[in-house]
Amino acid sequence: MFFIYNLLLTLISPIFIYTLYRPKEGKPPFGPRWKEHFGFSSPLNSAAPPVWIHTVSVGEVIAATPLIKKIKDAHPELSILVTTTTSTGAEQAAKLGSLVEHRYMPLDFSFAVKRFIKIIQPQQLLIMETELWPNTLSAAAEAGIPITIVNARLSERSCSRYAKVQGVFNLLSKDITQILCQTKDDSLRFQKLGIESSRIKITGSIKFDISISKEDINKGFELRKQIGSTRPVWIAASTHPGEDEQLFNAHKSLLTTQPEALLILVPRHPERFTSMFKLSEESGFNTVCRSNNEPVEKVTQVYLGDTMGEMLSLIQAADICFMAGSLIGDKVGGHNVLEPAALAKPILTGPSYYNFTDITRELVNNKACTICADSGQITAQLQKLFSAPELRMQQGEAAVHVVNSNKGAIKKSIEFLPAFV
């Protein structure tokens, strides 16, 4: 099985490498550090064996940040290494400053992973969510490194796919020391695929342990003063191609009853910033870019969030949040609805949210989130909420209650980790 996997990996690797290194607008370059993807990493500043935390890109780094801070608070002398595959993830990891060191994750070639492990000498490996690569897992296990999957989730869709290639999943799972699952349903799906219950623990989602800094909140308040404290403001967060047109249609309809309404549109990927400004203007909207620091007048209809690392402040500045990645079938599966929930915002989302099924359902059941099938339903919900301030407050309070009642996953997760040395 390993032979077949490595043969396929070799065949498809040129496509993967091209995609990884292809220049895109807004994407930081790898520079001379591209060699790290092939295991040529420089030694860490600390000689102590580090805890190796793998996070693929921006979202996983953000999710891991509270865990990292909690571990570092309890063990200030502990060396922590964060690996990412992408350069945008590296940029996010850099914001952690002296808490961690960063290296790029070696591609899943056996020679690259083994060279990386020999240089870094990690004491244990924590993988965020379900980023599993056969040669990485095998090399780590061979080196005696305990492997823990943290905040693990497995959708019914992914479970069905793995079941069709059970041999591949067995290859992935055999070297995993333990899996810390978000929910009981995740646990049952892993067991359905043959993982022993003794290797599975249910800790809850660490995403509920979200912590919003005063700086982000204050920046949001300041932005709201700039864009208009009394006008209706909604945000479409982390949009993907195919969604923007639908959201613009919803906004255009909203303007017929709320002529002063403002849409904050935040594309998921920075390389789309320029094209989205063009699309917004071509759609007939008076548009202002966040990055230009232009004044926002009453005639401004779309405010383009074309900066990185400001999502929380942008959500704070809005009255209602539509969480994107959810209007384009099964391509994406939604994004993290807990950020607007923690900021006490009423939440709207499209019908495809399989990456956050349990969280979204809990918010829906608590009347904090509404599922909208299309642009017409989005407009209807926006009109309803903007005309009823007390309803917006109720939904926002319900969202915060869901977040607060589910906190504690980080503490549980740390309790199950192997002892730090």
d(C-alpha 162, C-alpha 192), whole Å: 10
d(C-alpha 229, C-alpha 247), whole Å: 22
CA distances from 380 to 258, 263, 385 (A): 12, 15, 9
Neighbouring C-beta atoms of residue 227, cutoff 10 Å? 20
Question: 255: which residues sit within 8 A by CB, 6+ positions away?
Answer: 261, 301
Which two tokens mark 129? Answer: 């969510």
Question: 65: which residues sit within 8 A by CB, 6+ positions away?
Answer: 96
Which two tokens mark 376? Answer: 């017409």
Provide the residue count of the chain: 421
Q: Are strands 287-289 and 302-304 parallel, antiparallel or unpaired?
A: parallel
Core vs surface per residue 120-157: b (16+ CB within 10 A) or e:
bebbbbbbbbbebbbbbbbbbbeeebbbbbbbbbbbee
Strand partners, 126: 53, 148
Place of tokens 């209706």: 232
Place of tokens 């809005």: 318
CA distances from 268 to 64, 246, 271, 277 (A): 19, 16, 9, 14
Is 222 an annotated catalytic residue? no
Q: At residue 3, what are phi and psi to the nearest 5 degrees?
A: -60, -45
Instruction: Please tell me what DSSP assigns to residue 256.
Output: T
Which two tokens mark 179? Answer: 């899996």
Percentages helix, strand, coil for the chain (3-state, rounded to 5) are 50, 15, 35
* Residue of 25, 36, 60, 260 marked active site: 60
CA dihedral 209, 214, 218, 220 (to 10 degrees): -10
Amino acid at 305: G
d(C-alpha 376, C-alpha 353), whole Å: 19
Residues forming the active site: 60
